[in-house]
Amino acid sequence: MMLKNDNMWQGSVRGKRGRHKGTSSKLDATMPIVQRADVQRSDLRLYTAIAFSMLCILLSFFWMLFHVGGDRGTILFADVAYGVTSLIGASWAIRVVFKSRRWPLRLEQRHELAWLLIGTGLFVNSLGGFYYAYLEYLGFAPFPSYADIGFTLFYPFMLSGLLIMPTSLRFRTRMGLDAIITALCLFGITWFFVIDPAYFAHVVHVSTLNSLLTLLLGLSYPCWDIAVIFALLLLLQRRTQPILYTTFLLIGLGIFSLAWADAAYAYTNIFTGTYQTGTPSIDPFWFISYLLIGLTALGQYNILLHQAYSQHAQGASTPLPTPIASFVAPLHANNIPMRRIQSLLIYVPLILLLGLTVYGETMHDNPDSHYLVVLSGVVGILVTVRYMFATGENEHLSQEMARNHQQSELLRHLNTQLTGILDIEELLEHIVDMTTQQLHFDAAILLLLEDWSTGTQSPFRVHASSTFGKMKKWRFQGNSFLSYLLFGGKPVDLRWDAIFEDTPSEIYQWRQEEHLTNTYCIPLIYQRHTLGCLGFSYRKKRVLNTSDIAFAQAYAEQISAIIEHVLLYKEAQEHEVFSRAMANIATRLNAAVVKPEDIYQLICSEGASALQADYTLLYVPDEPGEQDFHGKLVPLAAYKAEGIAQTHEWPVVYIHEPVAKAFSSLQPLLMKVSAPPPFAAPSSRLTSTRKLRRTSETLPVHTTPSHSFYAQESREQRETGTSSEAESTSLLQKLGEHNVQTVILAPLLSAGEPIGLLVFARSVPLGMYDKQSFGNESLSLAQDFAEQAAIALTNAHLYQHLRSTHQRLQELDELKDQFMITASHELRTPLTSVQGYIELLTQYDGMIGAEERREFLQKAQRSCNELVILLGNVMDASRIETESSIRPELLERVDVRDMIESVITIINPQLRQEHRIATVLVSTHLFVHADPVRLRQVLMNLSVNALKYSPQRTPITFSARLVDSKNGAMPSVIISVSDKGKGISSEDQPRLFQRFSRLESEINSTIRGSGLGLYISRRLVELMSGRIWVESSGIPGEGSTFHVQLPTPPSML
């Protein structure tokens, strides 16, 4: 059952691609707006029509009063003016129909048809006028003639147009009685003054059928006028919009002018025989009537156009004055009610009729006056019947007013009970309970949209209750007939005996359990926003009457406002929590010292608080220095509402996963975690194998897969063969295990580059209905929080960088101090030795033998060599720090065995002195691509360190082996130098190859060195595209092994 609006006068605005018909009291804001130029153009044409009408009327009076052109000129002018004015009135009426089709404002169809009929009647009447003027021009104007056909057809068209005019009220018997009483009274008055004298004065002279038809035709015009007046009275009884009162005043004046002219014409033509075409007291009133009827059509369209413009431009500008506002203003200024005018139209003609009846009986007392007595008796009977109907209507109105008062009190009581509830779930439960318990419906079902921004795919919750059963709740999503109820925007009388192909199984089961037959659904709309739908159900077939529908609509409007206010309150609370979380982050950011770990955890915890999430995860790239993300995202921090969140519980996100796509996005994304099974086929509802998965305590989510987005395997996954179950949806599967249905992925951007990804999720297990999954409405909040979190994360990275830089500077400062101490000690030792031997030679040269002198000089030379090596290391460290690679022309094919043997030759004197054995485990024909000078320097540093840090009589081993290539890389050779010293602990190994780093740091240490040898070696190996590392258990006696890996020359491939 569809509700129908009684306001049939309102037009609708027509767009470029069709017409949007509407009968509501307000125009839809989405329709095309009536332009100011359209209103001004309509005003100009109406002003022109009014001026032209006044000019025609004044000209006709002037012409006929002064007989311009003589009698014949006056007669021809009157005949032509009759046809012209009728044709002009017809053109104005038909033009309104044309404007309704082409202009922005479209009239209701019945309105267009009414003016089309009236315009057709005026056009036919003008044809009769022109034909009669032609007969007058020929000097032969009989009565009757063919022109009377056009004159007579005008009245049926005019009568039909008035009867089908749209009104605000339905036709009632009392309205018809009022119109009939007034019409009969006017007929009696016309009978007394016109019909009775003319008919009975001439009927005795009627001798032929032609003369009788002439008499009846002449008397028919006043009778037609009475019929037209009856139609006008019936139209006024059925009410029109107040803004159209003036236009009906114009058409009323036109009809009464027509009635006067027809009555005067019949009286003078039949009774006195003195009528002559061009009579000033008769003919101009025909012109007035036809022009006023045409002006009424233009005036109505102009007023409705002004109304449409003012509704679309409220407060935008000063309202345009209506051309006929001068007529409307007195009515509104004097506050003349329409009911008083209607009463005057009934009682004034009735009093006149009774007065004429009494006058005729007392003064004439002839048989002719008895007709008025009979007519007065009929009118009296009709007045009595009208009084009975009015009494019944008044009693019915009193009962209706009492019922409305009772319903108003009930609505006020219900509103009082619902106003204090601020929880949306509790409110919905109370609404459906009140519908069944206090409004005495058998059952009630309430549908509430959760996210109306996604259209018909919006999720919505359903609450259902009955007088016998308990509360049931569900949550649905996807297209079904429930979506039609939500977005239809109109009341629907739902018959459950019809088979709905897409009815959810839970709803169908509930309907069968409650034995419901029909449900009347009313949309819940608040300020043009659809909130949901409320259904009133019955177990027996029943059609709601108008009063019940009005009460249900009032109840629906009331709860719509309450639901909207509760939703706004909930939204305000969420914004308050969100603002508090943002303030907490800002406060922590302004703190003097904030550890990065605290910021990471703060982002997750406050993000969960701001968006009311149960799980919040912070992912960052595993290689944060890269501009383009090509690797994977690792969890940096995690939060969960219950328990302690550990980052190792959450999987790594790889680049080919759908979740990783959000990392490169510029705004948050909403993703569904899984796809529940769709609705079952309708035929399966009635089979015995059907299983209902939900009970009254559950709130499942149903979606239609064809209309939802789910995480599917990407094209990269299918091409690489990765498993969707194992990797691509691992994070989504992990969230799905925690009953997460939707997840928000918010990228964190810094200077336009992604630096992290926030994951927000809510756990909505089966049976929980006071919480809903994330929807599109939460994306804006996630965006705002992500912007603040990005600032926090950036500051944490900057703080971490500054802290590590500060620590590095402190380490460098310590290394510098240690280097200065070490350098001063290491430089002083050889210089002291040289100085001592030189002093000995200077003082005791004559006393020292040749052998001792040679020994002193060799020792001084060895100290000088040590000093040269020390200074060379310092110079090399400074030089290679600025070099990025060794020049290609210096790289050549180097035999590894020859290179190791050359190094052994250099250190051979020290080997013999310390009684060591150097073992070489290198096969022949093993080559590397390197700079031989630099490679010898690296091996010398490693060999000298092996001699320094291992006791005498312990062996030193040189080995080399070829390493096969992996993943298409070039083969390489690993050269190893091993000793049997005390070893290097694992804690000391990371800083072993740093500049100025020495494990033996005491000044009085017997092992001298600058701490630059291994650093220089590492840099030289890296410049030759290799790498160096150490292997040691740190156990004394097991020693250490230094490895140098260098590429093989291209000729070995």
H, E, C per residue of 613-677: CCEEEEEEECCCCCCCCCCEEEEEEEEECCCCCCHHHCCCEECCCHHHHHHHCCCCEEEECCCCC
532 vs 451: CA distance, rounded Å: 11
Alpha helices in 420-472 (DSSP H): 424-437
Both tokens of 673, joined, read: 């975690």
The CATH number given to 591-675+709-882 is 3.30.450.40
827 pLDDT above the threshold of 80 = no
Around Cβ 678, how many Cβ atoms within 10 Å?
A: 15
Which residues are CB-neighbours of 153 under 8 A, at least 6 positions away?
121, 124, 125, 128
516 vs 436: CA distance, rounded Å: 13
| φ, ψ (nearest 5 deg) of residue 963 | -110, 125
Helix (H, G, I), strand (E, B) or coil at 827: helix
Burial of 488 (0-12, 13-18, 19+ CB in 10 A): middle
Burial of 254 (0-12, 13-18, 19+ CB in 10 A): buried
Q: What pLDDT score was predicted for residue 699?
A: 34
Both tokens of 337, joined, read: 């009610």
Place of tokens 């949209």: 449
Is residue 283 within 8 A of residue 78, CB to CB? The reply is yes
Q: Residue range 60-66: average pLDDT?
A: 88
* Sequence letter at residue 318: T
Count the helices and strands in the chain (H runs, E runs): 25, 23
Q: How confident is residue 754, by pLDDT bands cut at 50, 70 and 90?
A: confident
Please list the residues that pair with 461 across neighbouring strands. 448, 475
**Enclosing H/E stretch for 296:** helix 283-312
Q: Which CATH number fits domain 420-572: 3.30.450.40, 3.20.130.10, 3.30.465.10, 3.90.1170.50?
A: 3.30.450.40
Please list the residues that pair with 746 across neighbouring strands. 758
Which residue spans within 505-590 are E strands per DSSP? 518-526, 529-538
More confident residue, 599 or 897: 897
Q: Residue range 288-299: average pLDDT?
A: 90
**Average confidence score pLDDT of the chain:** 75
Is residue 323 within 8 A of residue 302, CB to CB? The reply is yes
Both tokens of 488, joined, read: 């239809």
112 vs 164: CA distance, rounded Å: 10
Local structure of residue 13 (DSSP, 8 states): E
Is residue 744 within 8 A of residue 759, CB to CB? The reply is yes
Domain boundaries, the chain: 12-16+28-168+239-334, 420-572, 591-675+709-882, 888-1052
Q: Residue range 130-151: average pLDDT?
A: 82
590 pLDDT above the threshold of 60 = no
Distances (CA, A) of 408 to 208, 289, 446: 71, 49, 22
183 vs 176: CA distance, rounded Å: 10
Q: What pLDDT score was predicted for residue 678?
A: 37
Is residue 451 within 8 A of residue 774, CB to CB? The reply is no
Place of tokens 């990025």: 884
Q: How confident is residue 197, by pLDDT bands cut at 50, 70 and 90?
A: low
Q: How far apart are the first and last CA of the chain?
A: 88
826 vs 116: CA distance, rounded Å: 119
Long-range residue pairs from 111-116, CB within 8 A, at least 24 positions apart, any chain: 111/8, 111/9, 111/11, 111/165, 111/166, 113/161, 113/164, 114/161, 114/162, 114/164, 114/165, 114/166, 115/161, 115/297, 116/161
Q: Residue range 915-934: average pLDDT?
A: 89
Order of strands across the sheet with 615-621? 653-654, 632-640, 615-621, 753-763, 740-750, 669-672
More confident residue, 38 or 258: 258
* 8-12, 147-151, 842-846: least confident range: 8-12
Is residue 894 within 8 A of residue 935, CB to CB? The reply is yes
Helix (H, G, I), strand (E, B) or coil at 29: coil
- For 165, how many CA atoms within 13 A lie in the half-sphere containing its CB? 28
More confident residue, 803 or 621: 621
Both tokens of 118, joined, read: 């009236």
More confident residue, 27 or 797: 797
* Sequence letter at residue 67: H
498 pLDDT above the threshold of 90 = no
* 39-53, 269-283, 328-342, 441-455: least confident range: 328-342
Place of tokens 């089966």: 766
Domain 420-572 shares a fold with domain 591-675+709-882 = yes
Q: What pLDDT score was predicted for residue 974?
A: 93
Both tokens of 197, joined, read: 């004298």
Q: 961-1018: per-residue pLDDT in tens?
A: 998 876 666 789 999 999 988 888 888 777 787 766 666 544 445 555 566 778 888 8
855 vs 844: CA distance, rounded Å: 14
Q: How confident is residue 499, by pLDDT bands cut at 50, 70 and 90?
A: low
Which residues are CB-neighbours of 842 under 8 A, at least 6 positions away?
none
Q: What is the CATH T-level fold of the domain 888-1052, as seen in this structure?
A: Heat Shock Protein 90 (3.30.565)
Q: Of 678, 46, 577, 51, which is closest to residue 301 (Cα–Cα)?
A: 46
**Enclosing H/E stretch for 465:** strand 460-466
- For 217, how many CA atoms within 13 A lie in the half-sphere containing its CB? 19
More confident residue, 548 or 928: 928
Q: Residue range 500-513: average pLDDT?
A: 79
Torsion sign over Cα 263, 264, 267, 269: negative
Q: How confident is residue 369, by pLDDT bands cut at 50, 70 and 90?
A: low
Both tokens of 482, joined, read: 């429930």
Q: What pLDDT score was predicted for residue 734?
A: 85
Q: How confident is residue 876, by pLDDT bands cut at 50, 70 and 90?
A: low
Both tokens of 115, joined, read: 């003016």
Both tokens of 258, joined, read: 């027509």
| φ, ψ (nearest 5 deg) of residue 1023 | -65, -25
Q: What pLDDT score was predicted for residue 19?
A: 33
Distances (CA, A) of 16 to 23, 36, 526: 20, 18, 29
Q: Residue range 673-699: average pLDDT?
A: 37
Helix (H, G, I), strand (E, B) or coil at 243: helix
76 vs 82: CA distance, rounded Å: 10
Helix (H, G, I), strand (E, B) or coil at 831: helix
Place of tokens 């092992």: 1007
Torsion sign over Cα 557, 560, 566, 572: negative
Farthest-apart Cα atoms in the chain, separation: 191
Q: What percent of the chain has pLDDT over 90?
A: 10
Burial of 364 (0-12, 13-18, 19+ CB in 10 A): exposed
Both tokens of 344, joined, read: 């005057």
H, E, C per residue of 64-132: HHHCCCHHHHHHHHHHHHHHHHHHHHHHHHHHHHHHHHHCCEECCHHHHHHHHHHHHHHHHHHHHHHHH
Pairing status of strand 12-15 against strand 18-19: antiparallel
More confident residue, 618 or 583: 618
* Total residue length of the chain: 1053
Is residue 428 within 8 A of residue 567, CB to CB? The reply is no
Torsion sign over Cα 701, 707, 709, 715: positive
Please list the residues that pair with 930 across neighbouring strands. 892
* 96-110, 132-146, 316-330, 428-442: least confident range: 316-330
Q: What percent of the chain has pLDDT over 70?
A: 73
709 pLDDT above the threshold of 50 = no
Alpha helices in 191-282 (DSSP H): 196-202, 209-237, 245-266
Identify the top-confidence range among 314-318, 421-425, 468-472, 885-889. Answer: 421-425
Q: Residue range 1044-1050: average pLDDT?
A: 90
Both tokens of 165, joined, read: 């005019």
